[in-house]
Amino acid sequence: MHMFIEDFLCGIRTRGWLFGLFLTACQLQSSQPIEQPVAYPANKVILTPDSPKLAYIKESAVELVQRPIMAPVTGRIVYDETRTSRVTSPISGRVVGAIAELGTSVQKNDALTELDSPELGQAQSAYASALSEFNLAERTFERKQSLYQYDTIPLKDLEQAKADLARARNESERARLKLANLGVHTMRLDDHFVLRAPISGTIVERNINPGMEIRSDQTLPLFVISNLSQLWAQMDIFEKDIGLIHVGAQVQVQVPAYPDKRFPATVSYIGQVVDEVSRTVKVRCDLPNPGNQLLPAMFAAIEIQSKPEDLAIVVPLTALFTEGQSVWVYVNHGNYHYQKRLVKTGLRLKDRAVILDGLKPGEHLVTDGALLLRAEQNFQHQSKTTLQ
């Protein structure tokens, strides 16, 4: 009995010591500060200045630009026909002289080649004969006019001489005009005809070879000369969109050869007929070509713009991302704080979109890296939830 009481008292002392130890530990723990979870604002992402994610984020200032009004239209660059000449020979002959090289810049009346043309010799001979006949008829008329004044010849002889003079004058003038149309202004009798450039420009096509027989009625031009400082951009606009453009409207032309460049052009002609098969209307634009960077027959994407005073915010599609039915962007508020912003979009192009609401000029928009920021925002939100 004595032993049982002694063991019971020993157990009480042991449990008391353990309980005191537990109370001491609780007091020590309660005296230390408790770490609070980091608070991340809603719809915001906060990065540190040394975050490696910053290397993948690109920004640009939001600005107003001329509003695009429709998606780019596929078009084609062609010669400006008002600055282009397709040269054929007005006379038959054989090529005997040097031939201007393809790509050569020529001035008006420069020699392109020389032909040996018997037809030219016949035309010069006919003019010389007609001129001689005219001179003879003129002297005959003057002599008969003097004789008539002295009543030496009857009136009918004077009238006959006058008619012969008029006929000879017309014949000589016809022969002269024929030579003038050939570009010949000398009376030297030979068979050599020089084919000259009718305009200044660049030889862009050549269909002539040494010794070639040339006919005046052939349809294929010997040379095509064009001033390439200005070209035409042609496109087909669907009839439903024809009301969006007008003569004088500004367009932007882009070609695969220069993907980062846009060439300004002006609508100069809108067709008056709708194609019954394609339901399109032909539209032509005057396209300046500084440095001759653009070439005829290039394909182009032509973007029609609104009036200069009609401005809008246009952003790259890489700046946008969707969640459900909504479109969002990220805006940099400074100090590496990025706000997730709801925006309303309008016309969407191949690589850009018009923003109708949600952005203001001057704000710094994240153009690349929006999806990276969204993933970081989701991670920060999960971390916040876990700590709570």
The gap from C-alpha 191 to its chain's centroid, in whole angstroms, comes to: 48
Contact 302, 251 (CB under 8 A): yes
**Token pair recorded at residue 320:** 């946008």
Bridge partners, 221 (sequence order): none
Pair 324, 290 in one domain: no
Q: Is the pTM of this model over 0.85?
A: no
Whole-number pLDDT of residue 17: 40
Q: Is the domain of 284 the same as that of 324?
A: no
Q: Is residue 14 part of a domain?
A: no
Residue 202 lies in a domain: no
158-193: b or e for each residue (b if 16 or more CB lie within 10 Å)?
Answer: beebeebbeebeebbeebeebbeebebeeeeeebeb
Predicted pLDDT of residue 255: 95
356 assigned to some structural domain: yes
* CB of 59 closer than 8 Å to CB of 338: no
Answer yes or no: do 382 and 330 share one domain: yes
pLDDT given at position 387: 54
Given 190, 209, 238, the domain boundary residue is: 190
Q: What is the pLDDT along the chain (388 residues), one digit of tens a residue?
A: 444 445 444 444 444 444 444 444 444 444 444 444 444 456 888 888 888 888 889 999 999 998 888 888 999 999 999 999 999 998 899 999 899 999 999 999 999 999 988 888 888 888 888 888 889 989 988 888 888 887 788 888 888 988 988 999 998 888 888 878 777 766 667 788 889 999 999 999 999 999 999 998 888 999 999 999 999 999 999 999 998 899 999 899 999 999 889 999 999 999 999 999 999 999 999 999 988 999 999 999 998 888 888 899 999 999 999 998 899 999 998 888 999 999 999 998 888 899 999 999 999 999 999 889 888 888 877 766 665 5
In a domain, 23, yes or no: no
Segments of 209-279 assigned E as strands: 213-214, 223-226, 230-238, 250-254, 263-270
At residue 285's C-alpha, the angle toward residues 257 and 349, to 5°, is 60
Residues 254 and 292 in one domain: yes
Q: Has residue 26 been placed in a domain?
A: no
Q: Give the end of a domain, one of 282, 304, 326.
A: 304
Are both 318 and 284 inside the same structural domain? no
- The answer to whether residue 102 sits within a structural domain is no
The residue from 267, 284, 304 where one domain ends is 304
Query: Cα–Cα distance between 349 and 306 in angstroms, integer?
Result: 15
* 332 lies in the same domain as 292: no
Q: How many domains does the chain have?
A: 3
Domain that residue 340 falls in? 44-67+311-387
Looking at the structure, tell me whether residues 325 and 295 fall in a common domain. Answer: no
131 and 165: one domain?
yes
51 and 78 share a domain? no
CATH label of the domain that carries residue 272: 2.40.30.170
Which CATH number characterizes residue 168's domain? 1.10.287.470
Domain annotation covers residue 353: yes
